[in-house]
């Protein structure tokens, strides 16, 4: 996961402003496997014998996983955990935190640390122009002039905002007050912990996919986060992931 190189400028305290178009997602901790779904589901009929699923090959029971997904028996998909470390613009986290059920968050604080001058710039592939009315619109590629304008205006705004932030800090203004001048394009970082069921709900809303039975129109930047989380989850729980896609990418 690479950062996009860009021009840097010096802030009043010598910190160089930098600009990125990529978000990053790291899986830092997990307890998640397809077998977690199976023992949770089979306790309803097998009781203590459901513990035997811990030693069995989940591949033998992928039909059960598909049944649970298809008929939307959701609770067996909650007995697992994944913790991600995410670096993204603040505006992505403000959308992210609309997902409350089955999620835990801890984000870096502008009250307790001086925020670093790292800012978001759309990459060349980012579609810039919105067409149509709300609920029925699409985004299309911008012109070269629009991309150049966007980069120039955003960079200039970011630099001036961070200079104002630094000026207040040097004058002794509290961090929690000075941060108010910083834009939502500033990069932040957080830990986000979820289970497979809550992640499936997130992916159903925050990614576009050809197999989705219910269309979604996410903002591209949060979709970039979702795509990376999905790639990690697919490796941990391949049978569950396959059933999710086979049944229209609808959370059970």
Catalytic residue among 20, 197, 206, 249: 206
- What is the Cα–Cα distance from 103 to 83, expressed in whole angstroms? 10
Return the number of other C-beta atoms located less than 10 Å from residue 245's C-beta.
14
Residue 74 burial by Cβ neighbours in a 10 Å radius (0-12, 13-18, 19+): middle
- What is the Cα–Cα distance from 222 to 58, expressed in whole angstroms? 32
* Beta-ladder partners of 29: 83
Query: Is 133 among the residues known to form the active site?
Result: no
Residue 51 main-chain phi, psi, to 5 deg: -65, -20
E strands present in the chain: 9-10, 16-20, 24-31, 81-89, 103-107, 118-120, 129-133, 136-140, 187-194
Catalytic residues: 206
């Amino acid at each position: 996961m690479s950062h996009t190189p860009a021009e840097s400028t010096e802030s009043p305290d010598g910190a160089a402003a930098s600009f990125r178009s990529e978000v990053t997602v790291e899986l830092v901790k997990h307890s998640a496997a397809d077998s977690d779904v199976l023992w949770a589901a089979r306790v309803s009929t097998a009781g203590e014998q459901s513990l035997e699923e811990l030693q069995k090959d989940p591949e033998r029971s992928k039909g059960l996983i598909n049944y649970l997904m298809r008929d939307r028996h959701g609770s067996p998909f909650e007995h697992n955990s994944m913790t991600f470390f995410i670096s993204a613009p603040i505006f992505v986290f403000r959308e992210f935190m609309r997902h409350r059920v089955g999620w835990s968050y801890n984000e870096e604080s502008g009250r307790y640390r001086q925020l670093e001058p790292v800012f978001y710039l759309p990459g060349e592939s980012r579609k810039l122009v919105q067409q149509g009315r709300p609920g029925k619109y699409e985004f299309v590629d911008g012109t070269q002039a629009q991309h150049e304008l966007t980069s120039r205006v955003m960079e200039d705004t970011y630099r001036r905002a961070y200079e104002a932030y630094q000026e207040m800090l040097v004058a002794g203004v509290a961090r929690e007050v000075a941060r108010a001048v910083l834009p939502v394009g500033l990069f932040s970082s957080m830990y986000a912990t979820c289970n497979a069921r809550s992640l499936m709900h997130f992916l159903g809303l925050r990614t576009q996919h050809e197999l989705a039975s219910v269309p979604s129109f996410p903002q591209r930047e949060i979709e970039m986060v979702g795509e990376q989380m999905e790639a990690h989850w697919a490796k941990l729980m391949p049978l569950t992931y396959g059933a999710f896609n086979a049944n229209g990418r609808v959370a059970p």
